Amino acid sequence: MGRKKQIVILGGGFAGLYVAMELEKELARSNDFEFTLINRNNFFVFTPMLHEVAASDLDLTTIVNPVRKFLRRGHFFQGSAERIDVERRVVKVSHGFDHHHHDIEYDHLVLALGSITNFYGLPGLEERALTMKSLGDAIHLRNHLIATLEEAESECCLDPNPLLTFAVAGGGFAGVETIAGINDFLRAAIRAYPRIRPEQLRLVLVHPGPYILPELGEKLGRYAEKKLSARGIEIVTNTKVMAVTPTTVELSDGQRITSATMIWTAGTSPNPLLMSLPCMKDRGRLAVEATMEVPNWPGVWAVGDCAAVPDLISGGQCPPTAQHALRQGKLLAQNILATIRGGEKKPFRFKTVGQLAAIGKRTGVARVFGVNFSGFLAWWLWRTIYLAKLPRFEKKLRVAIDWTLDLIFSKDLVQFFTVRSYHMSANESAAPVHAEQSMTQTAGD
């Protein structure tokens, strides 16, 4: 038997994981190849539910799955890709406590590196803005919300206004679901803080377009605006964030919002590792064929947010959504196997089934098969569809239990810190150890 073909997958998001899961199933029937999934984190995050972790609707462990539980025959390598040599077919990765390096050779390379947050060089944004791209971001935001309430409640707080004003930039799915979730959380939480009055809370959503949720159309966008406004959320449209200071958010229309919290969901860029590749690109993303092959580089494939995949049904390019990424991943795996075995590769064809957004208070907006839904029905569809898509029965059950308990009990106000306990050396007084007081995970590869 000849040497087995080596398949390397970079990235463990929706696209990368579903490539690996499809190859895993094929390994049960044939062993003419091996594959390795490389990712910075050893878990897969179900990102559509991140805002529910930030808003204390779900426990932080319910939306993550250990990658190793998906792979029984394939290999997993926890590390960071640092350089890709497509001419020599080698990926350079680092891992471990000492960040030592490995060269991993491949016959087929799958680039599923996703996207990262882009601050566009706006003053103060990178230093002060919170983001919502990873599990660590969601936990950090939750901790921050509780910390601001604790600070505003203290007797020595002279001006609680900046602390109790929360600005979110970006009126797409991430921004709307985030501000809706934290609005529900904060207004429920202040019942435990007698010095904070409901009217002191101020939440502002800043969006550059004429209406929020443009992906769902104007009718549903206006409906969402009406519902959020009725719950005390201010919506500023046709406006952009221009700068952030420790106590203000400066807008393009000249407004200055007095706020100590800026949550940025308004921009992403492809993973910067792609910039060094000698491959064709389209606005930073790798230009690929409909089969997801990278032109002129046999054995190199790209999928998900980092790939500009042609949309053969609607024209243009496929949107960077989870429903596209997971289907692209499955087909890409089959196309790699077809290449190895001399079969026929298939182009990616998929039409968006629907898009949904939860906007708090058990209401939502949705467009499914071209039909608009709003209110409780849309919220129920959101929960039903995403629960069905969440991998592994164990996690589905945990989420269902958390959602049920959320109907009965109040929001949890516990902060999750990763700090060491008090300790002392000989002849010294016990002293607290200063450490980072929030989860520090970043967006996975």
Ordered DSSP codes for 54-120? HTTSS-TTTTEEEGGGT-SSSEEEE-EEEEEETTTTEEEEEETTTTEEEEEE-SEEEE---EEE--T
The 10 Å Cβ neighbour count of residue 222 is 14
Place of tokens 């490389």: 38
Residue 92 CA neighbour count, 13 Å, CB half: 11
Structural domains of the chain in order of their starting residue, each with its CATH number: 5-40+79-117+269-341 (3.50.50.60)
**Sign, CA torsion 346/348/353/355:** positive
What's the pLDDT score for residue 185? 97
pLDDT beneath 50, residues of the chain: 435-445
CA of 270: how far to CAs of 79, 199, 221, 251, in Å? Answer: 19, 40, 27, 26
Cβ atoms 92, 82 nearer than 8 A:
yes
Cα 53 to Cα 137: distance, rounded to the nearest angstrom:
10
- One-character DSSP codes across 243-258: EE-SSEEEETTS-EEE
Residue 292 CA neighbour count, 13 Å, CB half: 33
pLDDT in tens, 1-43: 568 999 999 999 999 999 999 999 999 888 889 999 999 999 9
Q: Which of 420, 418, 433 is nearest to 135 (CA)?
A: 418
What's the pLDDT score for residue 430? 54
Phi then psi for 183, rounded to 5 degrees?
-65, -45
The DSSP secondary-structure symbol of 314 reads T
Cβ atoms 109, 298 nearer than 8 A:
no
Q: State the pTM of this model.
A: 0.91
What's the pLDDT score for residue 421? 76
Place of tokens 């795996």: 333
Nearest-5° Cα angle at 280, 277 to 286? 75
**Sign, CA torsion 380/384/387/389:** negative
- One-character DSSP codes across 289-304: -TT-BPTT-TTEEE-G
Q: Collapsing DSSP states into helix, strand and coil, what is residue 141?
A: helix
Place of tokens 């409780």: 376
